[in-house]
């Protein structure tokens, strides 16, 4: 782990951006707090009053998750939970898309089953940190929210989507499963029958269908997504913080009986699949832009 003093020195060495609308990183580490310093990595964060905005910033790969993104989101969720100045969090994506899910190139390059297993556990820690954070998370979705992108949406408390947004658990199309919690959270959000429809077919669904099925909380024109998400976040932030935290804690327990066991089972399933010829073929075919040839082994 990088020592806090080193992180502070590195951030202080980065000049403050002068461009209009620049994002500024807020880092709270122990008792020390650094405000300012431009943060231009794959995840950007800023505070607007008592609402935090987190932006996935890998637009060239449709904001796909690599380990840097996973670790950054985990840390941010933990930091926001400890920061009394944050009462709600909005998560969005840069470049017109929310997230296309796991970085397929990174997934293909994993060193084997053990590394695939650890990556899945790291993703579980990220989703769990968001769910355990006492502050509500709101996903502001434009463009694609598929695979791990939809799984991130499901870990958030609420989802605001643009009318042109697209959702889907597409993992079956590369011979895999929604191993980052999608099987469990999707079924608990929209019901088992509809979850099976999406998971078994890997099909994409439009925002209207997602809204009608309860996957999306609010549906607005694409150019109003962030505005609506912030309006919702500010409404929540106006409420009694302890009441909101208690409400989230109570609601989070509604389906918690076997969640940990089910997620652990997903790790086992994905680890076994990663060793299969079919998943490796699916990854190769995706990168080579061709149809996969599955052999059932």
Taking every pair of Cα atoms in the chain, the longest distance, rounded to a whole number of angstroms, is: 56
Query: Is 154 in contact with 181 (CB distance < 8 Å)?
Result: yes
Domains and CATH numbers, the chain: 22-224+241-288 (3.90.226.10)
Dist. CA 79–CA 213, nearest whole Å:
33
Written as six digits, the tokens of 241 are: 């913080």
Catalytic residue (one of 79, 131, 171, 228): 171
Dist. CA 121–CA 290, nearest whole Å:
30
Q: Is 238 a catalytic residue?
A: no
DSSP secondary structure code for residue 15 in this structure: P
DSSP secondary structure code for residue 16 in this structure: P
Which tens digit of pLDDT belongs to each residue from 67-124?
Answer: 999 999 999 999 999 999 999 999 999 999 999 999 999 988 988 999 999 999 999 9
- State how beta strands 88-93 and 144-146 pair: unpaired
Task: Give the HSE-up count for residue 6: Cα atoms under 13 Å, Cβ half-sphere.
Answer: 3
| Angle at which helices 113-132 and 148-155 cross, to 10° | 30
The predicted pLDDT at position 35 comes to 39
Written as six digits, the tokens of 233 are: 């976040």
pLDDT tens per residue across all 297 residues of the chain? 344 333 333 333 333 333 323 333 333 322 223 233 334 489 999 999 999 999 999 999 999 999 999 999 999 999 999 999 999 999 999 999 999 999 999 988 988 999 999 999 999 999 999 999 999 999 999 999 999 999 999 999 999 999 999 999 999 999 999 999 999 999 999 999 999 999 999 999 999 999 999 999 999 999 999 999 999 999 999 998 888 998 998 888 777 667 777 788 788 888 888 888 888 888 999 999 999 888 878
Provide the 10 A C-beta neighbour count for residue 175.
20
| Angle at which helices 259-274 and 182-190 cross, to 10° | 130
Of the candidates 58, 60, 12, 70, the one whose C-alpha atom is nearest the C-alpha of residue 38 is 12
Which tens digit of pLDDT belongs to each residue from 166-187?
Answer: 999 999 999 999 999 999 999 9
CA distances from 106 to 7, 76, 111, 140, 279 (A): 26, 22, 10, 26, 14
111: Cβ contacts below 8 Å, ≥ 6 apart? none
Written as six digits, the tokens of 172 are: 């079956």
Catalytic residue (one of 35, 78, 79, 151): 151
Q: Is 293 a catalytic residue?
A: no
């Amino acid at each position: 782990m990088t020592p806090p003093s080193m992180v502070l020195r590195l951030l202080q060495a980065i000049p403050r951006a002068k461009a209009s609308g620049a994002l500024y990183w807020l880092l709270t580490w122990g008792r020390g707090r650094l405000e300012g310093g431009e943060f231009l990595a794959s995840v950007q964060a800023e505070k607007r009053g008592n609402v935090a905005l987190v932006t996935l910033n890998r637009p060239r790969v449709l904001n796909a998750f690599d380990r840097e993104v996973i670790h950054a989101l985990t840390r941010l969720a933990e930091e926001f939970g400890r920061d009394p100045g944050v009462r709600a969090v909005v998560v969005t994506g840069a470049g017109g898309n929310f997230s296309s899910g796991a970085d397929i190139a990174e997934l293909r390059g994993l060193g084997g089953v053990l590394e695939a297993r650890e990556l899945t556990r790291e993703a579980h820690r990220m989703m769990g940190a968001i769910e355990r954070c006492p502050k509500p998370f709101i996903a502001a979705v434009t463009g694609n929210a598929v695979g791990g992108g939809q799984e991130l949406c499901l870990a958030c408390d609420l989802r605001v989507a643009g009318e042109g947004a697209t959702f889907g658990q597409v993992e079956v199309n590369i011979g895999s499963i929604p191993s980052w919690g999608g099987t469990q959270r999707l079924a608990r959000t929209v019901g088992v029958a509809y979850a099976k429809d999406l998971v078994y077919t890997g099909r994409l669904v439009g925002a209207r269908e997602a809204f009608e099925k309860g996957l999306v909380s609010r549906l607005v024109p694409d150019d109003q997504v962030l505005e609506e998400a912030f309006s919702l976040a500010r409404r929540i932030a106006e409420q009694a913080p302890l009441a909101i935290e208690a409400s989230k804690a109570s609601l989070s327990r509604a389906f918690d009986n076997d969640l940990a066991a089910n997620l652990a089972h997903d790790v086992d399933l994905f680890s076994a699949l990663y060793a299969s010829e079919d998943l490796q073929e699916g990854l190769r075919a995706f990168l080579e832009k061709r149809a996969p040839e599955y052999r059932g082994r």
